[in-house]
Chain A
């Protein structure tokens, strides 16, 4: 009997996620995470990152779309249906951390293993204790006595203690000091040494992606603006700067055009660089450039005014 962990090609495979309810829009969002890699989902607050993650986990339902977790052989389920026993069982192998711990404030930290552990067949109490020690999370108080950073680390310890294959982290580093952020990123790196492991994390801090994300997905107002390998992002986009006004023909090629007193700048597709003459400067686009300008492209262009 196999332990059922071998040979899954995709850790996450979702197509066409669409949700209009409650004012949170998702419009045909696809998510793909090949097993053994890290997908960074980035976008402004309200872009749909949390909603996408909740849709993947079945915490919210979608009007349309399908989700497959941990294996191409998983019965791709209806994203607008509720829990089947099969999908619930798959959560044995998924660890989740959201922006705030989902634990009762009055629970004692020390007792959490006994409260949550019994639900998982691979719960390892020793590993949980070790992680708490490593993270310096105080174990003698209640959950409500922990700081934000400690709460996140506790959630991470809980998520890892049952030996998951897939980690889903929603803004795990937001609101944390640089040392705590580095601790968490290091833990994710260690987690990734095992080739059966995969990670999906969302952030609105673009620098979190550097040196960690293999794939990037940029969400903007509920739609996917870019999806692919992080290298491809830098190959596909470039940054243009020019003096004065852009000429009519090339202006439409600029994504998130930004005008100032001196001139203009914006993001372009590398393929369009031929539209710009020698009076403009074209440089490499950083991930941040892409995220910011793709977001701006949805808004009307504006001129910077004096404050």
Chain B
């Protein structure tokens, strides 16, 4: 049943191709300004926009009532939405990787495996926080009321971005400095990041399930 819900969700997302195209263009544009590798975390940030799309569609079509009449539980709805959101986000990050590689190739830059891994870990972290914070809020309040609150991760990321920019982290040399510090244990770091992301998402899903089950339609 969760799988069917994911299909339903993806169907809705694909019905709004313009958002996807705009988002993609945004990633490409932004990443070329700094460094192509930046496409990866940018793609993750893109999820900030994508998450709200599903909930907007729910509100416009009173789909929560549809879900309430289908033979599925509210828990299934929550898990399904999380699954489709993570799926879309991972695809976006994968696309970001591709764009980054293409960009680096065009620029003639060497492809630094370390920096690449770092960018992907940052992307996963952004994903976890972005989805982890937004989804329960949307499930609790619905699109219109949650929209403002959901901007929080975007604002945090914007702030982090500004700080990182001024600290010089975002230049190629800056990132080359950072890598040695974390290259000591790339595998451990990757596993920890993944585990942390998973923990955040699980906690978030439990919260989302709690609030959605109490919603009145």
Contacts and interface: CB of A to CB of B under 8 A. Distances in A.
Given A119-B1, A119-B4, A54 B217 contact: yes
B213 interface: yes
A119 B66 CA distance: 11
A28 interface: no
A235 interface: no
A22 B217 CA distance: 11
A96 B66 CA distance: 9
Contacts of A60: 216-217
A100 interface: yes
A94 B7 contact: no
A118 B62 contact: no
A89 B73 CA distance: 8
Contacts of A120: 71
Given A82-B214, A83-B213, A103-B61, 10 more contacts: A61-B214, A85-B73, A88-B71, A88-B72, A88-B76, A91-B69, A102-B62, A102-B66, A111-B11, A118-B7
Interface string A83-100: 111001111101010101
Interface in B73-93: 73-76
Contacts of B217: 54, 59-60
A59 B66 CA distance: 10
Contacts of B180: none
Nearest to A111: B11
Contacts of A182: none
B12 interface: yes
Contacts of B12: 104
A92 B15 CA distance: 27
Nearest to B212: A82
10 contacts: A57-B68, A59-B65, A61-B214, A83-B213, A89-B71, A91-B69, A102-B63, A102-B69, A103-B61, A116-B66
List 7 A-B pairs, minimum CB-CB distance, nearest first. A104-B61, A82-B213, A102-B65, A91-B71, A102-B62, A83-B73, A88-B73
Interface residues of A, number: 34
B4 A21 contact: no
Interface in B9-47: 11-12, 15-16
Given A85-B73, A115-B11, A119-B4, A100 B68 contact: no
B68 A59 contact: yes
A83 B62 contact: no
Contacts of A115: 8, 11
Given A54-B217, A59-B217, A119-B4, A103 B66 contact: yes
Given A57-B68, A104-B57, A107-B15, A84 B73 contact: yes
Contacts of A92: 71
A104 B54 CA distance: 11
A5 interface: no
Contacts of A96: 69
B184 interface: no
B119 to A, nearest CB: 35
Contacts of B72: 88, 119
Nearest to B58: A104
A169 to B, nearest CB: 12
Given A59-B217, A98-B65, A119-B1, A105 B60 contact: yes
A96 B63 CA distance: 13
B71 A21 contact: no
B113 to A, nearest CB: 42
Interface in A40-77: 54, 57-61
Interface string A108-139: 00010001101110000000000000000000
A105 B4 contact: no
Contacts of B213: 82-83
B70 interface: yes
A57 B71 CA distance: 11
A249 interface: no
A287 B76 CA distance: 44
A121 to B, nearest CB: 9
B15 A106 contact: yes
Contacts of A106: 15-16, 57
A100 B62 contact: yes
A85 B77 CA distance: 12
Contacts of B1: 119
B203 to A, nearest CB: 20
